[in-house]
Structure 1
Amino acid sequence: MRPDLLEAQASVDWALSQLPDLSKRLDEWLKRGVTIEIKELPSPADTNLIIAVENELLPLSFQAEVGAYINSIRSSLDILASALVRRHNIPIPENRVGFPIMESKEKFDKAKDAQIFVQGLPALGQRLFNDLKPYQGGNERLWTLHQLDIMRKHRRLLNARLNPIHIWMTGSLAEGDFTPLGGEGSIQVNEETVLGMIRKGVPRPAIHTAFYVAIDEPGFAAKKPVTAALAQMAQTASFVINFFDA
């Protein structure tokens, strides 16, 4: 890799290298922090609810840690932009250099520094920006990365989404004794996470499931484990950096 891009790639590589350990520690918290219970419903209901109970708050240290990884990935693109400004002598003051990601295509097209930056690149680099569409509604991963890096400074990003990755039971259940929920696998009822219904009077089965911790923000990052979302954003940043290594 060209020397002027090593720092940018190192920021992405550092974040990626931490994800396996983060995933392991989140799984450990979920195993001790979330349990499955059966909630008895009064008559005339002929079923009870299977609910997930969060017994331990998600440690705040995870919030700070994930924020640091998001910032490192987002910063890698700004470091890339600074390297390209120096490489191509683009006339932007150093304190205003940044990898442009905007709220809309209209704002991207009208942003003075963004356009000076893009127009100062070789033709191939300009075409990359046209293909990347680094704005809301154009590139969801880049826009989400940009927004999360802003939002992490003001509020918590993580939420223990009690949606099971999978759920199964072992025991003497007959057909119709257990009714799982469709869709995402859980619904909120009176602040309780309901995973399904089980017929009253049947022997209690052993219930096996696994949950995940996600970024608490609408969009692609909210519907997958936080480590998967971080990996995808890191892969996008790495793709952009490596393009300019050509």
Structure 2
Amino acid sequence: MEQPVRHRGGGGSWEEVRDAVAVRGSCVVYADVDDWVPADVGAPELAAELGADDHARLVRMPASRNRDRFVAARLLLKAAAGAVFGAPPRELELAYKPGGRPYLRGIDQLEIGLSHTEGLLVVGLTRVGRIGVDTEPADRRMLELGTEHKACTPYELECLEEVPPERRNRDLVRLWTLKEAYSKAISQGLRFRFTEFGFSPPGGPIRMLLPDGTPRTGREWTFHSWLVEDAYTVSAAVKDPGFGEGTPSGSSAS
């Protein structure tokens, strides 16, 4: 998978996103919340843009940055999916599986993923299988708060010790987002213990590993992690049961 595509809202072109999905099967799109949040979040016409279920959730939410992200993320997701299908976003119905995983009701040709944090929105799109995405501020404090012992396998803890101290927290954030992305892709979320699977250290292809560091998944899964806007870590997990485009073992972090 190539680098994530930024979309700046408004009447911006979706050609790069459409081409990525058509040629490579998958694409990750990111955007600034402020580029997608409407001027009036309480406007009645948003009911048609969001759909009945999400609009009902919106009206119960107090005015906050969380509400802005909620609205902007869903408008971005529906616009991106609509661009791939060549359909108006309001004609697409966003629904949720029991674990909270979003999907497009009545559409099996496109799997979607969604994540957001602070001012960033991230959407994953794939026509080859399943996708999960996750994002966190790259400098979010995780190290030495106990997070590493709840989220890392023994092998990952050993590898973290070999990372220069100034980069160690960022690599823990990278591991966390990769695990979140995979858990979302398989509709498990935080119910799947992160100490039961791990990922290879930075500097090469990203592979899923068993707790002792031996390979876990086959060629059907690829994993990706990027630094975007010099501020956020974005990770994606993609399953392609048909061994479509993409490197068998994932792509390296950048």
TM-score for the superposition, normalised by structure 1: 0.24
Greater relative contact order (Cα 8 A, min sep 6): structure 1 or 2?
A: 1
Relative to the length of structure 2, the TM-score reads 0.23
Larger relative strand fraction? 2
